[in-house]
Structures are given as C-alpha cells and as structure tokens.
Structure 1
C-alpha cells in the first residue's frame, strides 16, 4: 500500500479476511495506526490478528455507517460485491476515506525470492528489492546485508537471522535451504536477503536449486555487488581507460592453487578479492612467484559503505605485513592493480559517501 498520509495515531478499519489482508494490516501497524479488523471468517494469520482489534462485521446499512464513522480510514481487501456496495455507501454518507487493496496470496505453496541487498548501505537497495521485502511474511537475512531498517522495509514479517561470521556458521547452508523450502511449502511469501548479489559468492545458486527441486517457485533480485561498489566508495574504479580494461573477481575464502595463481597473474587488469583477508599472505606471495611485480599497488577497503570504512594501501610485497600490523579485519575487499593509484585522485567519492552515511545514521 502506497501510504501518502501520516497514519500515526489514526484509526484504520480493515475489512477483509485476516490472512488475505495480512500485508495491509502489517503496513498500517508499522505506520503507527490503530487498526481494527472486520472479518467474520476464521483467524487466518495469528501474527496479523494479534496486532489489531477485531470488530463485528455489520449486518445492515445503519451498522456499517456507525462503524465507519468511528474511524479515519477504511481499507477494503478482497471483499465480495455486496460488502463493497455497503462500504461505498457508508463511507460516502459518513464522508470517510475508502481505499481498496489487493489481497495477499494465500496459495497452498508460497514462493521464495532471493534478494541481493548490496554492500550494506540501505540506499543501494533496488526498487525490486524493497518491493519483495514489503510483501514478505518471513525474511531470512545475513549479517552483511542492510538490516538496520529491516523491520521498516518488511513490516509485520518474521525476521530470522541466519548470518555467518568467519569460521562460525550459526545456521549451516543446508539448514538455511531447508528453512526456505519449509516456509514456502507452508504457504508463506519468503525473502532470502543477502549482502551483495546472490550469485556473486552468495550461494544463491544452491538455494535456487533446492527450491526448484522441492517444487517451490523461486525468483532472484540482483543486488549491487561489493566487488565493484566497495572499491568505488574508496575512489577506486575497477576499470579505467588506458589503465585496466578488465577485472577479475576472486574468492579468497580458501588459498588459490599454484596453477590458479599463475593464470591470475597473467591476466592483467584489476584483481578484486572478496573474503581474502585471511589468505592475503598466501595470495600476495603466490602472485609474486607467478611473476607479478612486487611494486604492484594494492588496497584493502574494510567495512565498505559504513562510517567505519578504512582503506589501507601498499605495494604487493608490503601489504600483508602492513595489514597484520594495522589489524585489518573482515569484511574487506582487496583490490590489486594499477587502478589503485587513481584512488588518491578520486577519494572525494569516499569522503562524500561517509558524510551522507553519517547524516543518515543521525536522522535514523
């Protein structure tokens, strides 16, 4: 529901089955409204009903007029034609605003949407991501996604933290997939919110396969990948005319083989390493063994798109010991290539972002 008025403290009457009106109810509650539900059926969604006051559905014209006269707004959700006629007549006579909402899905099988949340800044969520969150009954989220305003973006949804930290998986991948499928088979609209993009080292492919095998409809909303955005926030373009015409994104979760290091060093261009702090000494030494110049510039951008963002720069042969001395920690993005030298000229991008981020944190 696109709410263009301030509903805080307003009395809102929702007319329709609780289950089919669950998203409408959740949005009104999240907006600070006092919500009343006129539903003569069985409770369809305990989560939604617990947030509202149930009222008796009127049986005649006078009762309808009396009921709608006691509220500020009436929202009709999937009601039949006779109820629609009664609502239109009563709100017209009482001069109360009436709006109509489409019902939320109540299919035997729900659906799963994998949503890329970007590098952590809520301003980088896509329109499609916000739309998916808005309709969610349950959100399974990671620690690296934008979560500070999740309750606002997914009002009324159950929020489940399945985040992983280096060396510790609170919920393993198999269990995450099982939970996604279980929730969808129960008829829920499920969002799997990930940091970055689901298909860039996000194990999104595994989750799509798990849902497909279980017969659960699944879609993917691409996100802004930290492989490009985080270097950009530090003033480092991954490509630049006459400097780098290609970039390679590498997972640093496990050490690369000698063969992989040889090919990586021979590609040229820019190398972007995600999850590479722990294997940085192996990577830098291996690239030099494979022929890369020891003076190749390297940057490590920690906590991109946060007020704690920090960039550490050094040559290839010096970056690992320097990072150790400075206590560089994940999450961080490692950038190797001549484009790193440009950051000294383009760092205004990072400064501007950090000012905006600080302002947003203050206003939130």
Structure 2
C-alpha cells in the first residue's frame, strides 16, 4: 500500500454516523469540520478538552465517557482514531478494516485506511491537499501548499474565472481605513471578480492598480451630476451597469454603513430589483486610532466610546447630534469628518461641562504611508489644527485614552 498514492475523494457525511475515539487536541481540531459536514457524531473517550466538552454540552456531538470497546465502529461510515492508547488504536483500526469503515489514525498514518488532507475554504470551494508520494509525506509542505492556494483565491492574486453564468448584481464593499491590507478577504476576492468598480475617494486606492485590464474603474467623485444629486448619480450608475449583466463592486472607505450611505444605495438597488451583497469593512473610527497607538476603550480609563459625524457644526440646525449629552459622558468621543468644525465642537463640549484640558488627537490619513498624528486639548485644538495645517481625512479622538499608550505614527 505504501507504494501507491492515496485516492482523493470528498465524503458526504450529512446524517451519517461518524465515530471519534479520543477527546484530545486531535479531536478538538477535527470535530468542527465534521460538525459542519452534518455528521451524526459519537465521541468515545473517558476525558475531553474543555472545547470538546463544550461541543457535547451544546448537543453538537454525543459523548460517551468511557474507553473504546469492540463494536464501537458498528454502522459507522467514518472513524477518527485518536486515543492515547496505541493498543486501543490498533484494535479499533482492525475493527474498521473488518467492517470496511474508513479510518484515520493520528498515531500511525501508515496503518490507517484514510488520510485527512490539509484543507481550506474560499467562498464555495474546498481546497484539499494530499502528498502523492506515500513514502515521503510532509504535512508541513501540504499545509503550506493549501495556505498558498487558499490565500491566493481569497485575496484575488489567484484568479479562477467562473465558467457558468454568473448572476449579475452589486456588492457594497467596505474597503477599510485606507491600507490595502486592511480590506476583508471577501472584499478583496469580490474586487478580483468584478467587471466594474465604482470607487470612493477614501477607499483603498492601491487595490485598483491590481485589477485586471478589462475591469472598468469609475471614480464616484467624478460621475457627472447632470440633473441629479451626486448620490442619485452613483445609484443610477450601479443600476445601469448591473442591468447590463455585469458584476459591480461599489468600493467604499471604511464600512458601508458607517457614514457611508450604504443603505441608500442598497434601497435604490432593491427598488430596481437588483441583488446586492453587503461586505462589512473595518471602520476608521476604531482602526485609525488603533494605528496611531490609541485604544478607544481601556480598563480604568474609558468604558464606552461614541462615534459621531462632525460634518455639520453643533449650532447648525441640520445637526442630529446631542452635543450637550456627549459633553457629560466620561468615555471616548470619536469624531469623523470634523476637521473644519473642530473649533466649534470643542467650544460646545467645554461649554457643556467637558474639561478644556481633555486630550485630543487628530490622526490624518490613518493607516496609510502619509499617516500623521497631532495632539492637542479641547482648549487648544482649534489653533493647533490651523498651525499644523491638519486636513481631511482625519479622525479626531477626544478623551483620556489619547494619553494611554506610546505614540505610534506608522
């Protein structure tokens, strides 16, 4: 048998009996995939790790707290043999052979009738890697191959075109705070599969250079307004390209639903009968402070943080923010889109009780190569912004957390 490679196959175990012998680390690693496959799982083991015990407590597996006994593999379709008793493993393996049950052994792969491949998943595809030479198995190599393939599929560097007809539609993708490495795996994969990308100015621009030449990239800031407002023009562009049968990605900065008008776009698409997928993104409200060495919460300092838009001043009748209430809070206040209004914001907070000595940090172009941090207080922030020529986009953090950690600018 050692002269022949293993034959790869996918087992459909939903509703079928699977027996796992041993409740240690091997079982802990393998059980989640068996549970996800819908298997009817019997665990036989005197003891189990806390994680395995939690699976039993949750009803995901049936646990019989005893050692292996002859007959345990009766009616099983598949078995994972992973006890700490070599003699019990050998007996169980022999039972599996006698009953034609495929068995994986953690202690002696050569004595097993099946091997577990290094597996990974990427949006509907399972990648499974086995060493073809049975005499030279190298688990680390197979895992590395698995990781390389899965990572390539996820981040779009390994593109596998769909050959069946794709359903046209739109994906609202949160691109994160600016660093192209901070987009989600799913967002990056959808970008790689797109026919059209309508991008915001604050989205991760470096990702656009990686797109294939056939992808049409549209700068949302430059869509002609015509007789429509800017957002209506963007909505119309999304609908128009999707109706032409194209896969469209609306690449937005941060998260689509954090001051990103994502819901307005989704509503327009729903009214037009166009399917839409929403991919969350890392919001700059937490990621940019973190990149600058500022935690928005910290034990003993801040038990809450509030994120507000500062695009209209506190005394503007259009403002929906209760600034007096915010001034009474003791936690962290994160202001987005507020650079040109920070003087009035600081004045209002102080007028309603916040100390003028409250620390303030402004992080410009957060997570990008141009990132810089400027510190001030509520009393000095307006003049500091002018003196330091702080410009949007910048995230403003107000609160004692500003002084908690070491300053980070990279």
TM-score grouping bracket, smaller chain normalisation: 0.5 to 0.7
Determine if contact 1:142/1:193 at 8 Å carries over to the other structure: yes
RMSD, aligned CA: 1.9
Please state how far the C-alpha of 1:346 moved relative to its aligned partner. Answer: 2.9
Worse-superposed segment, 186-195 or 251-260: 251-260
Measure, in 2, the Cα distance between the counterparts of 1:240 and 1:154: 43
Secondary structure of the residue that 2:178 maps to in structure 1? coil
Selected match of 2:180 from 110, 116, 122? 122
- Deviations for 1:34-92, whole angstroms, at most 9, x for unmatched residues? xxxxxxxxxxxxxxxxxxxxxxxxxxxxxxxxxxxxxxxxxxxxxxxxxxxxxxxxxxx
Matches within 5 A, 1:43-62: none
Structure 1 position 303 matched with structure 2 position 361: no
Alignment CA distance shift 1:132-1:119 (3 Å): same
Worse-superposed segment, 192-201 or 126-135: 126-135
Selected match of 1:176 from 234, 247, 252? 234
The aligned residue for residue 144 of structure 1 is: 202
List gaps (5 residues or longer) in structure 2. 1-159, 223-227
* Runs of 4+ with >4 A deviation: none
Selected match of 1:335 from 397, 401, 404? 397
The structure whose Rg is larger is 2
TM-score scaled by length of structure 2: 0.56
List gaps (5 residues or longer) in structure 1. 1-99, 165-169, 355-364
Please state how far the C-alpha of 1:256 moved relative to its aligned partner. Answer: 2.4
Alignment CA distance shift 1:297-1:335 (3 Å): same
Please state how far the C-alpha of 1:104 moved relative to its aligned partner. Answer: 5.2
Alignment CA distance shift 1:295-1:154 (3 Å): farther
TM-score scaled by length of structure 1: 0.63
Alignment CA distance shift 1:171-1:310 (3 Å): farther
Number of residues of Structure 1 aligned to a counterpart in Structure 2: 242
Measure, in 1, the Cα distance between the counterparts of 2:336 and 2:363: 10
- Deviations for 1:97-139, whole angstroms, at most 9, x for unmatched residues? xxx96415355xx200000000110110111001111111100
Determine if contact 1:133/1:154 at 8 Å carries over to the other structure: no
- Deviations for 1:221-253, whole angstroms, at most 9, x for unmatched residues? 000110001001110000001100100001011
Please state how far the C-alpha of 1:305 moved relative to its aligned partner. Answer: 1.3
Selected match of 1:235 from 293, 297, 321? 293
Determine if contact 1:136/1:154 at 8 Å carries over to the other structure: no
The aligned residue for residue 347 of structure 2 is: 285
